[in-house]
């Protein structure tokens, strides 16, 4: 704790790109500073992530870059250790394995005080037992997970005590902001940009072009659909390592006339709003950022039952679920829903109400602050006695 009787909090993230986890960090710290600044001085160490730095600078969060190359990066470890000492850090919140290991070792090497170590786990991948045993048990005091599915993964894969795991959803919805409306003219402009005619339906998959996102399932489902109707356009928005593979798969199946690959789009909300349905066919998903964003814009979602997705999409209530990997079931559900305007509207509204409640930024920030303070005040009490 510093001279102002505030706790010194450090977030460390070694990821080089700006994705959902980095967005969560920015939003969380923005609202933590705004509404709970009397408790904390907040710092961030990142791995030369220029976009993350830019966003943190906008909200006035002090941040520095420390190059983190691998788990044996002794230079990074000592730089982090030096930072912990200079700024008298009380609690570190890690966000991935590399920063977790380097920061965790740096923290336990400072013998004069106990630094609380928290890992926020954003992903649903199976935890390697050896890595889990070495890092998660020895370098972690508590866990924050963004879904109950991830919580159960930690318990089942490496036997983490459930009492030290806290589920706190991602901070995504600001109820104080004016609700975003996209007018029909704007939607028409987006469809025109993509080359979609007024009588055609827009069915969209939005996300990085990587294996776990289920693009192949989407393409196979579309192949079944176009045998029965030709008024749907299947739009893939995003970029990634599978771009060439996806292009070739569409060409091989003679689906070029039905698919549009737009590449990366900056204002993704406009493309969500212009869509008739959002499809999330992921094979593995901790929660699904695009589902949250789509529900927040009152768009109906059809998604796989993978990972933490069923915590948002409840079948026939807040959307439709299909069995992960079952492209024929996905095709059936798209054809079932696409023309049922009242049902689409009902699903969208139900999901909107659920998402606003679960992912409200003030609620999520308050839950995180309470979690931090419970741990810090216990440790502060121990230090005083």
Residue ranges and CATH numbers for the domains of the chain are 7-171+360-384 (3.40.50.2000), 184-358 (3.40.50.2000)
- Residue 342: predicted pLDDT: 97
* Mean pLDDT of the 21-42 span: 95
Least confident of 157-171, 174-188, 325-339: 174-188
Say what the pLDDT of residue 381 is: 41
DSSP class of residue 281?
A: -
Please tell me which residue, 247 or 133, carries the higher pLDDT value: 247
Averaged pLDDT of the chain = 92
The answer, yes or no, to whether residue 385 has pLDDT greater than 70, is no
Q: Is 80 exceeded by the pLDDT of residue 315? A: yes
Query: Tens of pLDDT along 235-280?
Result: 999 999 999 999 999 999 999 999 999 998 888 999 999 999 999 9
- Residue that the structure tokens 């982090």 belong to: 80
Q: Tell me which of 64-73, 178-187, 193-202 is least confident.
A: 178-187
pLDDT (tens digit, 9 = 90+) per residue, 79-92?
999 999 999 999 99
DSSP 3-state assignment of 315?
strand
CA-to-CA distance for 150 and 200, rounded, in angstroms? Answer: 39
Q: How large a percentage of the chain has pLDDT more than 90?
A: 79
Q: Mean of the pLDDT values across residues 128-137?
A: 79
1-5, 152-156, 220-224: segment of lowest average pLDDT: 1-5
């Amino acid at each position: 704790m510093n001279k102002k009787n505030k706790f010194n909090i450090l977030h460390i993230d070694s990821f080089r790109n700006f994705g959902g986890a980095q967005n969560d960090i920015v939003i969380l710290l923005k609202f933590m500073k705004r509404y709970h600044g009397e408790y904390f001085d907040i710092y961030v160490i990142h791995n030369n992530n220029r976009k993350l730095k830019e966003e943190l600078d906008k909200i006035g969060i002090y941040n520095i870059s420390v190059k983190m190359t691998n788990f044996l990066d002794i230079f990074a470890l000592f730089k982090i250790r030096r930072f912990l000492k200079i700024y008298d850090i009380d609690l570190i919140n890690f966000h991935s394995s590399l920063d977790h290991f380097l920061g965790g070792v740096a923290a336990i090497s400072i013998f004069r005080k106990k630094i609380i170590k928290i890992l926020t786990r954003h992903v649903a991948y199976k935890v390697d037992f050896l890595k889990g045993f070495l890092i998660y048990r020895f370098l972690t005091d508590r866990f924050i997970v963004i879904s109950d599915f991830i919580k159960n993964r930690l318990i089942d894969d490496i036997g983490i005590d459930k009492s030290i795991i806290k589920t706190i959803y991602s901070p995504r919805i600001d109820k104080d902001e004016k609700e975003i409306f996209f007018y029909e003219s704007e939607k028409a402009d987006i469809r025109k940009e993509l080359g979609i005619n007024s009588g055609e339906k827009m069915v969209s998959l939005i996300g990085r072009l990587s294996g776990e996102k289920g693009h192949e399932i989407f393409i196979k489902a579309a192949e079944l659909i176009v045998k029965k109707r030709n008024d749907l356009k299947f739009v893939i928005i995003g970029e990634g390592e599978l771009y060439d593979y996806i292009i070739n798969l569409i060409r091989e199946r003679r689906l070029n006339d039905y698919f549009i690959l737009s590449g990366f789009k900056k204002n993704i909300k406009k493309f969500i709003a212009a869509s008739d349905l959002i499809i999330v066919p992921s094979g593995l998903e901790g929660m699904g950022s695009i589902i949250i964003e789509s529900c927040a814009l009152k768009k109906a979602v059809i998604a796989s039952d993978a990972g933490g997705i069923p915590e948002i999409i409840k079948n026939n209530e807040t959307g439709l679920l299909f069995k992960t990997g079952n492209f024929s079931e996905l095709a059936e559900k798209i054809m079932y829903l696409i023309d049922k305007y009242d049902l689409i509207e009902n699903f969208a509204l139900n999901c909107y109400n659920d998402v606003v409640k679960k992912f409200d930024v003030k609620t999520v920030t308050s839950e995180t602050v309470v979690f931090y303070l419970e741990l810090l005040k216990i440790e502060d009490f121990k230090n005083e006695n």
